[in-house]
Structure 1
Amino acid sequence: MTDTMTWTQSIVLGALQGLTEFLPISSSGHLRIASELMFGEDAGASFTAVTQLGTEAAVLLFFAKDIVRIIAAWFRGLFHAEERSLDYRIGWYVILATIPIGIIGFVLKDQIRTTGRNLWLVAIMLIVFAGVFWLAERYGKKQRPLEKLTLRDGLVMGGAQCMALIPGVSRSGATASAGLFLGLEREAAFRFSFLLAIPAVTASGLFSLPDAFNPSGEGMEATGPQLLVATIVAFIVGYAAIAWLLKFVSNHSMNWFGAYRVVLGVFLIILLSTGAISAT
């Protein structure tokens, strides 16, 4: 029988979603771990997807000028070849790079909501992608600004975004790491990562709205007001997290987040091995 989510649970998990969505530490993994540790039950993939609408609203507001400029340039470029600027190309890069995660997310939606949320998998992905961060920082040249972004960059980062369907990976971590491997500057990689996430996460959240109200055993059941408040909390905390992260990555390595992921992953493995928490 599915348990009803409390107001405390919805607010805490909404704040956690906002805090972790943009940091390369996996928001879905943190919500999965926190709901199990604090409440003894999975909050559910649908709850996670819907509260992501709040964090994506934070992206829309934070990058509003950039988004409006890119959309306007894209439409102008469709009809006037001489107007095909960088913003026009970035618009196409986001559209084309979103296709892979849209297809894979739809085909594997049942696995993502069930076996993909196993905490053993989350722990392994937390540690494995800490290694990916280290390799990206070690071998990425970090020389090309956003103005040098190419279609190849966009498609590779779009492919990397598919890994974020697995809790524990991190959407921003996977796409930004791909950007670093391609030679992009750290801040440029994260900026495009945020833009790239908008259509995929928004579509996922809207698609999951019906399931969030009727989880059918795959998570706690939240009421409409609880989902709304959790999403608003995620928006507020998420906006602050974006501003902080862009300043941080300008001067600091992703390895700081990688170290945290290893500690959390090892801690989770200990809890699972001792039977302190259940993996499913």
Structure 2
Amino acid sequence: MDYITAIVLALVQGITEFLPVSSQAHLVLAGAWLGDIYQGLDFDVILHAGSLVAVVFYFRQEIFAMLRDWTGSLAGKGHTKDSKLGWWIIIGTIPAGALGILFKDLAENEWRSVAVMAAALIVFGILLGIADWKGRGTRDEYSLTLKDVLIIGFAQALALIPGTSRSGITMTAALFLGMSREAAARFSFLLSIPVIAAAGLLYTLELVQKGTTTSWGTLLVGFVVAVVSTYACIHYFLAFIRRIGMQPFVIYRIILGLLLLAVVW
């Protein structure tokens, strides 16, 4: 893999990881456009590591407050809104983790087809549009209840279906529950941290067994580009949805899904 290819794939990962448009579908499309290139497990791991570093750095103040108060709650110091949010993120991660283990092979093989991606882009895109149009609530992430968190958590598990978009489906569920656009996005991003970290750990263990195939220079370039592009994407996305909402992403998903179906048929 040359440096230009690495930069293109890292940009695709960084820009689409937290947009409600499915980063997985875009990486598959980018690989096909670049000549049916497979980026390799090591490069995939480094790109997700870059996205993880970016989201943790962006929400570093919130994460510090959650960790401080969450550990305090374990020590018997009582609960605060931040310790409660920390527990919600842990609980909300469990459904995706459990179902991810059960359906890992299906998600990586049988479901990984252009037709499935196209259908998921369209169907879940329409749901996002309905949620954004009907929801427009005012609740923030600190108002969530256990029931709300479980609903969002099980919604996150649907992202096992390629083309769904993890951020898209969690934002959709949050909007249906009456959260504001910004709060839905913030909780979705925070909820992604354990999932990305756990997936990265599993793939790293697999990578240790198989060994790396990509040069360290290419991996470094991919990591840096993924960090910068992911951070910028989070920042501008939050500002964008505050003013305009989710509808442009809904339209984009439907058009992309229809184009993919046209290719398949």
Output the TM-score relative to the length of structure 1.
0.87
Are the counterparts in 2 of residues 29 and 168 from structure 1 also a CA contact under 8 Å?
yes
State which of 226, 230, 252 in structure 2 corresponds to 1:238. Answer: 230
Q: Is the 8 A contact 2:46 2:222 kept in 1?
A: no
Give how far 1:141 is off. 4.5
1:200-215 mapped onto 2 (5 Å cutoff): 200-211=195-206
| Alignment equivalent of 1:86, drawn from 77, 81, 99 | 81
On the 8 A contact 2:85/2:142 being kept in 1, the answer is no
Tell me how many residue pairs correspond in the alignment.
Answer: 265
Q: TM-score, normalised by structure 2?
A: 0.92
2:97 to 95, 99, 102: 102
**Which amino acid in the other structure matches residue 56 of structure 2?**
L
One-letter amino acid matched to 2:238 = L
Q: Take 1:22 and 1:154, find their aligned partners in 2: how far apart are those partners?
A: 19
- Give the 4+ runs in structure 1 shifted more than 3 A: 41-50, 210-216, 220-225
**C-alpha separation in 1, matches of 2:210 and 2:159:** 21
Q: Does 1:253 align with 2:229?
A: no
Q: Deviations over 1:25-50 (max 9, x none)?
A: 11111001111122224446774454
Deviation at 1:152, TM superposition (A): 1.8
- Kept in 2, the 8 Å contact 1:45–1:113? The answer is no
Amino acid of the structure 2 residue aligned with 1:79: A
CA distance in 1: counterparts of 2:73 and 2:186, whole angstroms: 22
The percentage of aligned residue pairs carrying the same residue is 38
Give the direction of change, closer, same or farther, for the CA distance of 1:228–1:155 in structure 2 (3 Å limit): farther
Q: Which sits farther off after the overlay, 41-50 or 98-107?
A: 41-50
Specify whether residues 254 and 214 from structure 1 end up closer, same or farther in structure 2 by C-alpha distance, changes over 3 A only: farther
Q: Note if 1:70 corresponds to 2:63.
A: no
1:226 and 1:114, CA in 2 relative to 1: closer, same or farther beyond 3 A?
A: farther
Instruction: Tell whether 2:220 aligns with 1:228.
Output: yes
Select which of 52, 58, 74 maps to 2:54: 58
- Asked if 2 retains the 8 angstrom alpha-carbon contact of 1:24 and 1:173, the reply is yes
Aligned Cα root-mean-square deviation (Å)? 2.2
2:256 matched to 1:264? yes
**Deviations along 1:6-42, whole A, 9 cap, x unmatched?**
3332221111100111111111110011111222244
Deviation at 1:172, TM superposition (A): 1.0
Q: Which whole-Å CA distance do the structure 2 matches of 1:39 and 1:221 have between them?
A: 18
State the partner residue of 2:28: 32
- Which has the larger displacement, 191-200 or 108-117? 108-117
For structure 1, which runs of at least 5 residues remain unmatched after alignment? 274-280
Q: Secondary structure, in 3 states, of the residue corresponding to 2:111?
A: helix
Measured after TM superposition, the shift of residue 79 of structure 1 is: 2.3
Deviation by residue 1:55-109 (Cα, 9 ceiling, x = unmatched): 111010000011001000001112235x301101111001111111111212222
Match of 1:173 in 2: 168
Look up the match of 2:118.
123
What is the alpha-carbon distance in structure 2 between the residues aligned to residue 122 and residue 47 of structure 1? 22
Which of 180, 184, 193 aligns to 2:179? It is: 184
In structure 2, the CA distance between the partners of 1:157 and 1:75, relative to structure 1 (3 Å rule), is same
Taking the aligned partners of 1:45 and 1:258, their CA distance within structure 2 comes to 30
Cα distance between partner residues in 2 of 1:214 and 1:13: 24
1:157 pairs, out of 139, 152, 155, with 152
Listed as ranges, the gaps of 5+ residues in structure 2 are none
Following the alignment from structure 1 to structure 2, what is the Cα–Cα distance between the partners of residues 214 and 222? 15
| Alignment correspondent of 2:190 | 195
Contact 1:120 1:269 in 2 (8 A): yes
Task: Call closer, same or farther: CA 1:215–1:116 in 2, change over 3 Å.
Answer: farther
Q: 1:148 aligns with which of 143, 148, 152?
A: 143
CA distance in structure 2 between the aligned counterparts of 1:65 and 1:103, rounded to whole angstroms: 29
- SS state at 1:39 partner: coil
| Whole-angstrom CA distance in 1 between matches of 2:217 and 2:158 | 31
